[in-house]
Amino acid sequence: MRNLKLTLAYDGTDYVGWQTQTNGRAIQEVLERAISKLTGESSKLVVAGRTDSGVHALGQVCSLLTNTSIPCLGLRAALHDILPEDILVREIEEVPLDFHATYSAKSKHYRYVIWNSKLPNPFSKRYAYHYHVTLNAEAMQTAAQELLGTHDFRCFESRWPNKATSVRTVLRCSVTRQTGWPIFGYPEPSESKPYRSAKMPVTPVVAPGHEFLWIDIAADGFLYNMVRSIAGTLIRVGRGYWQPSDLRRIINDQDRTLAGETAPAHGLYMVSVEYGGADRDTADAPTNSTSYSMNRIPVIE
């Protein structure tokens, strides 16, 4: 028996989310079918985080117990040949049998991307939320710091009460303006240039100014629609409707109706999952720079 860890990227536009459902095509369903075709086994994947309909991933992680003898590189290459163009297996590696993509995760990093310009951008409309009124990124950054630490975040949860707890620990959160958004360009561990699949869109969207606004947040776990609700709340701060200090009041009042709206799904990305040890976050919260070292997702100009 082998335990395989798969790192994935996908365009979630045409899917009902990660989890297999009866109302449409899911990432899990498509990937399990492809793996079963190659291994002859009934594949069952466990995933780090179940992304919702329309949400994208740059570094989603899932794991699979299998008896197949296909080498990791061979399996990845074969999957590239049969998977649809909007799903990419970035890496497959063999891990200890006790590794579990869900329960072994120490933290997850999400990014919400906003195209903050008066005019829409036809090249980013599937991958960034167009918000036409100029947002105050500095005020949003100040407000984001109120999220740090361990709190009951039910004010940002769309399905409260849940069966467990709404307490989560936010490790870092930042709001920055950027000149570009690479979408689907990735670094290979041993190469200086981004990994590119001929089957996927890789050309970055680059703007002359800093129209792209990134909301990066890493935590030990997330509630349903938590990141999108935080994005909607920070947008209200960016508009000047609320002060940065209002974030603390909203958290303390624990009332979803007091927070901002849930931002659209197509601006949200699961960037990476950290498992500790040798694993580390592959795309740390950015500065205003537009170039990244090898362990980060690059912006290409």
Percentage of the residues of the chain whose pLDDT score is greater than 90: 72
Do residues 220 and 147 touch, judged by C-beta distance below 8 A? no
Which residue's entry shows tokens 């290459």? 77
Stretch 142-168: mean pLDDT, rounded?
89
Do 55 and 193 sit in the same domain of this protein? no
CA distance 65 to 230: 35
pLDDT over threshold 80, residue 202: no
Amino acid letter for position 71: P
| Cβ proximity of 18 and 62 under 8 Å | no
Q: Judge whether residue 28 has pLDDT over 90.
A: yes
Mean pLDDT of 272-294: 49
pLDDT for the residue numbered 12? 93
- Read off the pLDDT of each residue in 166-177 and give the average, rounded to a whole number: 95
pLDDT at 277 over 80: no
- Secondary structure of residue 5 in the 3-state scheme: strand
Task: Compute the distance between CA of residue 127 and CA of residue 141 in angstroms, rounded to an integer.
Answer: 22
pLDDT tens, 116-138? 999 888 888 889 999 999 999 99
Q: What is the CA radius of gyration of the chain?
A: 19
For residues 72 and 162, membership in a common domain is answered with no
List, in sequence order, the alpha helices (H) in the chain: 27-39, 72-82, 137-144, 226-239, 246-253
Q: Is residue 296, in this structure, part of any structural domain at all?
A: no
**Exposure of 98 by Cβ count < 10 A (0-12 exposed, 13-18 middle, 19+ buried)?**
exposed
Decide if pLDDT at 163 tops 80: no
Q: Give me the torsion for CA of 252, 253, 255, 259, rounded to 10°.
A: -70
State which of 34, 67, 95 marks the end of a domain.
95
CA-CA-CA-CA dihedral for 5, 293, 219, 110, to nearest 10: -80
Distance of CA 28 to the CA centre of its chain: 16
Tell me how many domains the chain contains. Answer: 2
CA–CA dist 109, 186 (Å, integer): 16
Q: Are 4 and 94 in contact (CB under 8 A)?
A: yes
Domain holding 217: CATH number?
3.30.70.660
Q: How far apart are CA 279 and CA 10, in angstroms?
A: 21
Q: Is the pLDDT of residue 41 over 50?
A: yes
147 in the same domain as 20: no
Active site residue 246: no
Q: Reduce the DSSP state of residue 31 to 3 states and report it.
A: helix
Of the listed 52, 86, 281, 284, which one is catalytic? Answer: 52
Q: Which of 9, 18, 28, 11 is nearest to 49 (CA)?
A: 18
Report the alpha-carbon distance of residue 78 to residue 74 in Å, rounded. Answer: 6
What is the per-residue pLDDT for 196?
A: 41
Neighbours of 278 (CB within 10 A): 5
Read off the DSSP letter of residue 52. B
Residues 160 and 264 in one domain: yes
Shared domain check, 112 and 87: no
Give domain status of residue 294, yes or no.
Answer: no
Residue 242 tokens read as 């609320």
How many Å apart are CA 16 and CA 18, to the nearest integer?
7
**pLDDT attached to residue 198:** 45
With respect to residue 82, please indicate whether it lies within any of the assigned structural domains: yes
Residue 181 located in a structural domain = yes
Range of the structural domain that residue 175 is part of: 107-274
Prediction pTM value? 0.85
Residue 298 lies in a domain: no
pLDDT of residue 204: 52
Mean pLDDT in residue range 35-54: 93
Contact (Cβ atoms closer than 8 angstroms) between residue 51 and residue 60: yes
Residue 174 structure tokens: 């930042």
In this structure, are strands 180-181 and 205-206 parallel, antiparallel, or unpaired? Answer: antiparallel
pLDDT band of residue 281 (cuts 50, 70, 90) is very low
